[in-house]
Structure 1
Amino acid sequence: MTVASWIARNAGWRPDKLALVSGDRRYTYSQFNSRVNRQVNGLLAAGFKKGDRVAVLANNTSEAVEAVAAAAKGGFVHVPISFRLSPREVEQILRHSGARFLFLEQEFTETVNKIGQCPDLVRIVRHNPSDAATSEHEAWLAAQDDAEPAVDVTGDDNFLIVYTSGTTGSPKGALFQQKHSVAHAPVPVILYDIKEDSRLLMVYPHNSIASINMYYVPAWLVGGTIVLADARGFSAERWLSQVQAERITHCHLVPTMLIRVLESGAVPSYDVSSLETIGYGSAPMPRERVEQLAATFGDILVQGYGMTETSSLAAVLTKADHLKALAGDGRQLAACGRPVFGTELRVVNENGDDVSGEEVGEIIFRGQYITPGYWNDPERTAQAIRGGWLHSGDLARVDQDGYIYVVDRKSDIIISGGYNVSSKEVEEVLCWHESVREAAVVARPDPEWGERVHAFVVPREGHNADQATLIDFCRQKLARMKCPDRIEFVAELPRNALGKLVKGELRARVSRDTLQAART
């Protein structure tokens, strides 16, 4: 069974059913399948072949979704790229993945114009979702055959390379075959109650593994409808308006977004009665906020926990779990849930033994939709997957009922508004500046974003550095959400007897200062 077979099946079984809404464009399954076939046949006619990496740099557009489906049907490897990345970061992904073709939204042409040489990249086709008449993509698509592609695709064929910052500076590409997405699809279908008449509003950016494996593929499994939202500048009113206008049944948001919805006070002004499931995850959610959400939207909350490397979901706090916790002492609202079917999840100590009671250990995974490794990166694959188990770097404990409570991270990842930010990458960029001798980056607690990027800098002797200059320098090299918004200048960084940086002291200092500022 393949993702490709589900797309073709929907075109045959429910040709007039609405498949995709992208701004003013609306495509039935028959129309969507035709566009996907044209894309596959166009790539094949241009000399691209099964296994070639095909990248997409765009906002949440129809073309980005069609590229996933085309990869499934043509046996290509889909490489989604965030439009928020700097030219340096885009180039890094294009070069590392060996992408040969790029679907580029016209708005981000300048980003690509600034990248260096990518020897594998031989073709770029631009699309303009706001004006089909001037879209190179539409003209190219219209010239292609819409017959079902004559490509033998199997579940073992490579399907996705999804890049994640992980815990090290440079991004790493988690590899997935079609069988991984196929195995994962029933998890959200069952636990999020996705059905044929479901209408899924995709707010996450298209390059997220959650977008592909919690929206596209599950929708194609059951014949649901995907509705795209602009991934830029989340607005509570815009989200509520889209829920009302499109009669949205399902949506998954990061806590920052849901908090904005609550604080907007606008919910009573919109008809949100169509909502059946609101998922949340990617960052902690305070208990009082969960209670407010339940009071506002009803018993429709689901929390998901996982990683890019787990295809998305590995543990879920279900609607029933929320209802039980809200009716009781609420303790389990602090949990990320219990393991979902299709994957094994353990919490182990340093000896590899399962923890018990209040003991804290590392979360590890094994299962049929866990990544087999990182693309072209055997060293980091060996570091992450040991003895057949994927090591998450997340520290947790498990209660007697099997609920998992994440208590800390072994890594130095900063989760800001649901985005993973590698502190090492930010530190590296800061040290590129001539005025910086050393840099250390930690998370600063933030009531809206969950965490913010906070930097400590030791200036070079004889150089003058100021906060505004260094922040601007980072913004030229990094995506905005990765850049520090506060920089402290210090004479030295705390180190232990072995000379190793002690970030715990910096985190404690930031937390203490943040708490003190909140009290004044």
Structure 2
Amino acid sequence: MTQKKTFQSLLTKGLKRFGDLPALTLLPAETTFTYHELLEKTERISKYLLRLGVGRGTHVATIIPNSLEGVVFGLAVQQCGATIVPLGEKLGNREVKFILHESKPKVLIMATQQHVATTLQYVEEENNSDVRIIGLPGFGIEYPERFEIFDWSEETTDPAVECQVALEDDIAILSYTGGTTGTPKGVMHTQKGLWAAVLSAAIEDPLDDREKLLLSTPLVHSAGSLLWRSLMSGVHVYVMPTFHPVSFMQTIKAYKITTTFMVPTMLYRLLGVTKKMEYDVSSMRNIYYGASPISQERLKEAFEVFGPIMRQQYGMTECNIVISRLSKSAHYWAYHNKPEVLKSCGKPCLLTEIRMVDKEGNDVKPFELGEIIVKSPAMMIGYYQKPELTEETIRDGWLHTGDIGMFDESGYIYIKDRKKDMIISGGMNVYSSEVERVVNQHPAVSLSACIGVSDPDWGESVCVVVTIKEGARCSEEDIIAFCKQNTSKYMVPKNVYFRESLPLTPIGKVDKKELKKMYVEGLLSVN
């Protein structure tokens, strides 16, 4: 019988292949589960969910921190052939309330104190007694009586209950965008699309049972995709509840970690602590990074600390992180021969087509800016309950990313900015990432974020918010003078604000929406 092209079938087969090899270690408890044990727990939870009526077409929402439960419940929902709606533990109650009311999950599994009242309110407002709210023990949470408490010791094996076989067009995951630019949007990925994404990633960047993967970012985002495809390949995955740079470096040394994923902000913090502590990263073979642009100078620093082991990936929720990649060999070549390429996000992935188009949809020439549009079997089929937005985003089979970029003469892709982050000042288009690139080159600057703020004369004026390196000193005048020497006049910031740290979204991107709010409320300081 031909194996179905579904993530469910891939998952079921993948977890059975590696038996007594270590699959998952939870830190700091140092609890390890073999593949056989992980599969047993996954099947146990699957039986439990099936008894709750979970199956094809069922929406199951989860709000679970990085933990065994976070891994196993995610796997079990997929094994049941249902649709998982993963919510990050750092999401605000406003976003959680919106997502629950739109996706209407039949089962909600949670382990976060801050969302207890919101989830209870959702059930009461929906006035649906069939909704099951499952509270997970062991997280120090006081659950109301309306919640059902999951019990690991309860016998859940029922041979008469079997998982439904998912079809290729079934929705496997309904992922909501961060909502930093507006209302969260539900992104629908089919079983076949998720299957294609996992296989594409495995082909592009092979990992096997010799790898030790360390994850500390939320598993509901990019780390979760890497987790799933690693478990299909026999990788030993280590999961930390949160990221802390010192303990992260200590973990690499203690467990001889070979592979990890991080966003640039995390990498910057690691580079900072390496100047203050003894460390050993000789076991490392791969560092995946992505989610936001990286400073070229800091990337060179990373080479000096970790070696030529960087792997960049460009993706988005709508395309399951399989748009383009800058490989280890490309990093190494660029570092020694053409550093400019380190600012690129590589070349199209094996299963992905990429074009740069103008406003009329015509392809632009190399080095000309255009919107990045993508075609891939791993891309979303649309936004949940938003047909008009889906038609606007997917046209003639091409996903319009909203990113502005260009090709160089060798086919490398450079992202210049998000359409929505572009600042129009005095009629000129200012790409915030380009301003940040210049500001980050100042020797005193650790990190910067460029935002556009309302201006009666210019329409929008260019502002930057910066953090300064420890022990360094810098003024607004210094930054502005430096920019005048290194960029176009219309890109020079009108104002510079200083903060000890920049607000971040749950996945580690600088939260520009929050910075704009702080500006309006007068909370940014020029000193």
TM-score (norm 1): 0.77
TM-fit CA distance, 1:267? 7.8
Deviation digits for residues 368-399 of structure 1 (CA, Å, limit 9, x no counterpart): 10101011111211111112111011111111
Instruction: Quote the residue 2:70 is aligned against.
Output: 64
Residue identity matched to 1:169:
G
CA distance in 2, matches of 1:7, 1:343: 23
Superposed, 1:4-403 pairs within 5 Å as 4-23=8-27, 24=29, 25-112=31-118, 115-116=121-122, 117-119=125-127, 122-129=131-138, 139=151, 142-145=154-157, 149-165=162-178, 169-208=182-221, 210-213=222-225, 215-231=226-242, 234-265=243-274, 269-403=278-412
Contact 2:55 2:164 in 1 (8 A): no
CA distance in 2, matches of 1:137, 1:9: 30
Secondary structure class of the residue paired with 2:44: helix
CA distance in 1, matches of 2:468, 2:103: 34
Contact 1:106 1:127 in 2 (8 A): no
Contact 2:134 2:150 in 1 (8 A): no
TM-fit CA distance, 1:140? 5.3
Residue identity matched to 1:18:
P
Secondary structure class of the residue paired with 2:519: strand
Q: Which runs of 5+ in 2 are unaligned?
A: 423-431, 437-448, 455-459, 470-504
Instruction: Quote the residue 2:519 is aligned against.
Output: 487
TM-fit CA distance, 1:138? 5.1
Superposed, 1:430-469 pairs within 5 Å as 444-446=464-466
Residue identity matched to 1:194:
L
Residue identity matched to 2:230:
A
Change beyond 3 A, Cα 1:243–1:128: farther
CA distance in 2, matches of 1:34, 1:128: 19
TM-fit CA distance, 1:142? 3.2
Change beyond 3 A, Cα 1:405–1:239: same
Change beyond 3 A, Cα 1:361–1:384: same
CA distance in 2, matches of 1:198, 1:309: 28
Change beyond 3 A, Cα 1:187–1:448: farther
TM-fit CA distance, 1:10? 4.3
Contact 2:15 2:232 in 1 (8 A): no
Change beyond 3 A, Cα 1:442–1:172: farther
Change beyond 3 A, Cα 1:357–1:7: closer
TM-fit CA distance, 1:87? 1.7
Contact 1:61 1:129 in 2 (8 A): no
CA distance in 1, matches of 2:280, 2:383: 44
CA distance in 2, matches of 1:406, 1:321: 17
Contact 2:89 2:112 in 1 (8 A): no
Contact 1:7 1:33 in 2 (8 A): no
Instruction: Quote the residue 1:505 is aligned against.
Output: none
Q: Which runs of 5+ in 1 are unaligned?
A: 428-439, 450-474, 491-512
Contact 1:106 1:128 in 2 (8 A): no
Residue identity matched to 2:355:
R
Instruction: Quote the residue 2:7 is aligned against.
Output: 3
CA distance in 2, matches of 1:9, 1:131: 35
Secondary structure class of the residue paired with 2:77: helix
Contact 2:54 2:80 in 1 (8 A): no
> How many residues are paired up?
444
Deviation digits for residues 378-431 of structure 1 (CA, Å, limit 9, x no counterpart): 121111111211101111111111001111221249999xxxx9x99x99xxxx
Change beyond 3 A, Cα 1:41–1:267: farther
Deviates more, 1:261-270 or 1:396-405: 261-270
Secondary structure class of the residue paired with 1:269: coil
Contact 1:175 1:375 in 2 (8 A): yes
Deviation digits for residues 469-510 of structure 1 (CA, Å, limit 9, x no counterpart): xxxxxx9xxx995533732479xxxxxxxxxxxxxxxxxxxx
Over the matched positions of the two proteins, sequence identity in percent amounts to 29
CA distance in 2, matches of 1:137, 1:15: 30
Change beyond 3 A, Cα 1:74–1:443: farther
Change beyond 3 A, Cα 1:168–1:240: closer
Secondary structure class of the residue paired with 2:79: helix
TM-score (norm 2): 0.76
Change beyond 3 A, Cα 1:12–1:359: closer
Instruction: Quote the residue 2:493 is aligned against.
Output: none
Change beyond 3 A, Cα 1:3–1:164: same
Deviation digits for residues 275-318 of structure 1 (CA, Å, limit 9, x no counterpart): 11001111111111111101111110011111110111211111
Deviates more, 1:243-252 or 1:286-295: 243-252
Contact 2:366 2:406 in 1 (8 A): yes
CA distance in 2, matches of 1:166, 1:359: 30
Deviation digits for residues 187-231 of structure 1 (CA, Å, limit 9, x no counterpart): 3334333112222222221221x2232x12211321212221223
Change beyond 3 A, Cα 1:325–1:368: same
Instruction: Quote the residue 2:476 is aligned against.
Output: none
Secondary structure class of the residue paired with 1:139: coil
Residue identity matched to 1:149:
E
Residue identity matched to 1:212:
G
CA distance in 1, matches of 2:377, 2:101: 29
